[in-house]
Structure 1
Amino acid sequence: MRPPRRTTRPSRARTCATSSATRWADRGERAVVGGGIGGLSATLALRQAGVEVDLVEKDAEWSVHGVGIIQPGNALRALDRLGVAEECVAQGHPMTGMRSWTADGETLLRADEFPPAVEGLPPNNGITRRRLHDILVAAARKSGARIRTGVTTSAVEPGTGDVGFSDGTTGAYDLVVGADGLYSPLRARLFGVRAKFTGQVAWRYNLPRIPDLDRLWVYRGSRGTAGFVPLAPDLMYMLTIEKVPEGAPVRLPREGLAAEYRRRLAEYGGAVAEHRDLVRDDAEVVYRPVDNVLLPAPWHRGKVLLIGDAAHGTSPHCGQGGAQAIEDGVVLAEEIAGGAPVEQVLDAFMRRRFERCRTVVEGSERIGRWEQDHTLDIDPDAVAHAVTTAAMAPL
């Protein structure tokens, strides 16, 4: 990683101006705010396009949350363009399709095989969130991007691309890419839009992998779904997405989470029932309300563009959240590589990304509504097929 260029030249931005501020970057470079899946993918893609990139991540420890993630075919296709798909597969576990049952585990509803999107790679892949993070971080460092952790933006001037950072430095950029997550401060600051609660909550718990688990297994219950995702030869996670029981709080304390999760799984049979009693450690239970957001087009103000969950955070029903964030970075870099002015780049990016991401967010939300109320006139399989078809279309 090359060292920062530091000067004492004052910032040109009124909102960032300070005669004593240290200059971090000048015009001709891009800033990426947020070091999650979207921010790291955008950084990698931009560096491959020959663009100078400053990446800032507010978490000094650069930790990640969650147990694992599904990488569908379009995610592997985008990761292949970034040069890291094979490593993700090597450190994960392939998934060849999906099987779904009724909640009791007795009646098989569907058994689907997925075609691969990239020759030589599996149709889908499961991987731990930590391993994916480490792969992307290592690639970003190797790319030559300038990376700072424990730093975020304190002020952004969309019209000029001038940025003030929380460590007192400033920068002047052709483009600022906001990849600061579902609860994006940049989105709140520039657009006044916040994520909303979908009515469901999600549970995750790591367990030893079922020996023949090479697909996504799903069980449909009365308030949602439960299932299993392989993550490694010896590891899987159990998942549940459900409507909150009548009278139960949405927010739950850490103490007692494992026992509560076991209670929520009481209606399930089959493999879920066989593994339910293995949920014992409160600290290992990942529980969160399911929120989503779809920022109306355009996702940019002046020289600031939002990508990933900051622009189109989706519920996990179609396994497309991470995939769409990765695609954002690939598409943005392709448009920048064409050499057009930033305004044309952003317009072209929106033409390629908005409808695709809207299909994912709105389709996933529709499936979630049906899980909460089976009387709704919604065919969840048809909706999932439409989302997958849109997501698998060429970029």
Structure 2
Amino acid sequence: MSAAKKVLIVGGGIGGLSAGIALCRAGIAAEIVELQSEFNVYGVGIIQQANALRALDALGVADEAMRRGSPYGKVKMCAPHGFQFGETGTPPIGRFPSHNGISRKILHDVLYEAAQENGVVFRMGITVEHINNQPDQVEVQFTDGSSGTYDLLIGADGVNSKVRNLIFGQFTPRYINASVWRFAFPRPAGLETGYMYFGKKTKLGLIPMTADTIYMFVVSSEGEDNPFIPEEELVPRLKAYLEEYSAPFVQEVLPQITDPKGVIYRPLETLMTPAPWYKNRVVLIGDSAHATIPQLGSGAALAIEDAVVLAELLEKESAISSVLEQYMERRYERCKLVVDVSNTLSEWEQMEWKGLPLPEGANMGALMGKTLMVLTQPI
């Protein structure tokens, strides 16, 4: 029987909700504190590859995510004018397809509903102020003046994690000289799967989210200064990047980009916290431990897997210290691989955009394929 009877989760995003569901399903009381007073999900869409669906199935929500999302096969890789020269994505795993596209808000709703059904306790509008992290328990002071004592604290509060900074010290995410632009559209007739187009200075993806909607992402290099772009420049700059893409699907949605408030722009940052991701009774999951850029579409998947593995170990093993050691053994190398390969792919992309030769033996397709195959392996 687990020594963890009561667990505090800091952060109510994808990783935090997944941890709450997994813990309650394992018979462990879970409480989530979320800084926002109400959920206002940022972003447009998300790609769930087969390994992400497998992890969601362990939470009992994979079928609902696919029902509300849009399952599809491998992504077609194309030239700017639409010629297909390859495909990418994890192979199907059992009954799970290569991908499921879904709105971030819909995925959050699916997880939130499951968390409520499983008995997760939510405290909105507060977070941790002080953590007294002891070998046998963790005492927490919250920002509303209240306090609590827990067997374990899970930091799931993102790339700028307050939990990480309080317990492990200051680790600053690294901007990788690239940014991503996203915009949602009605789904064009005939778009049956995901598409990725490779231009001279950018790459562009069209990803199904539901039966009726898709989102576009564009990855660009905005220089070395992590630039802020004023709202009035978002639409013209995004459209300028799209000028070289004559592919029919891109041309069909291009005229719909008119509202700058619909453009979701974000500089890309990466972080790999050194091992171990735990100290006494505090442990990190998801972006608080390993924030990755979207080159492999695996950031959310890794957070969900972290939650599933941690809860599985807590249910089976009585000693929390042993659980956390095993958690690191099962998660560190897998997560580091995704972070490192994603960074390498981004570096190679930017070299190509600058007209520089790639390192000898560099092969983006082969590296992506090899890494995605690793992700099909059991977690």
**TM-score, length basis structure 1:** 0.89
CA distance in 1: counterparts of 2:38 and 2:143, whole angstroms: 16
Deviating more after overlay: 267-276 vs 376-385: 267-276
Gaps of 5+ in 2: none
- What amino acid is the match of 2:147? T
**After superposition, where does 1:234-273 map in structure 2 within 5 Å?**
234-244=212-222, 250-270=227-247, 271-273=249-251
CA distance in 1: counterparts of 2:308 and 2:218, whole angstroms: 31
Correspondence for 1:110:
86
Is this contact kept in 2: 1:217–1:227, CA < 8 A? yes
- What amino acid is the match of 2:13? G
Q: C-alpha deviations, 1:155-214, integer Å up to 9, x for none?
A: 112224111111111111111000001111222222211211011000000011122223
- What amino acid is the match of 1:276? L
Secondary structure of 1:293's counterpart equals strand
How many pairs were matched up? 367
**C-alpha deviation, 1:92, in angstroms:** 0.6
Correspondence for 2:72:
95
CA distance change for structure 1 residues 262 and 55 in 2, over 3 Å: closer, same or farther?
same
Secondary structure of 2:197's counterpart equals strand
- What amino acid is the match of 2:103? T
Deviating more after overlay: 271-280 vs 188-197: 271-280
Gaps of 5+ in 1: 1-26
Correspondence for 2:156:
179
CA distance change for structure 1 residues 114 and 365 in 2, over 3 Å: closer, same or farther?
closer
Pairwise CA RMSD? 1.7
Secondary structure of 2:31's counterpart equals strand
**C-alpha deviation, 1:249, in angstroms:** 7.1
**C-alpha deviation, 1:238, in angstroms:** 0.7
CA distance in 2: counterparts of 1:190 and 1:113, whole angstroms: 37
CA distance in 1: counterparts of 2:320 and 2:366, whole angstroms: 38
Correspondence for 2:119:
144
CA distance in 2: counterparts of 1:383 and 1:309, whole angstroms: 23
Secondary structure of 1:155's counterpart equals strand
% identical equivalent positions: 38
**C-alpha deviation, 1:254, in angstroms:** 1.8
Q: Highest relative contact order (Cα 8 Å, sep 6+), 1 or 2? A: 2
State which of 9, 23, 36 in structure 2 corresponds to 1:46: 23
Correspondence for 2:209:
231
Deviating more after overlay: 274-283 vs 284-293: 274-283
Instruction: Say whether residues 1:386 and 2:370 are aligned partners.
Output: yes
Correspondence for 2:139:
162
CA distance in 1: counterparts of 2:330 and 2:89, whole angstroms: 28
**C-alpha deviation, 1:111, in angstroms:** 3.1
Correspondence for 1:4:
none
Is this contact kept in 2: 1:188–1:194, CA < 8 A? no
Deviating more after overlay: 250-259 vs 353-362: 250-259
**After superposition, where does 1:9-28 map in structure 2 within 5 Å?**
28=5
Instruction: Say whether residues 1:128 and 2:103 are aligned partners.
Output: yes
Q: C-alpha deviations, 1:81-120, integer Å up to 9, x for none?
A: 1110111011011111111112233x3220357532132x
**C-alpha deviation, 1:242, in angstroms:** 1.3
CA distance in 2: counterparts of 1:315 and 1:100, whole angstroms: 19
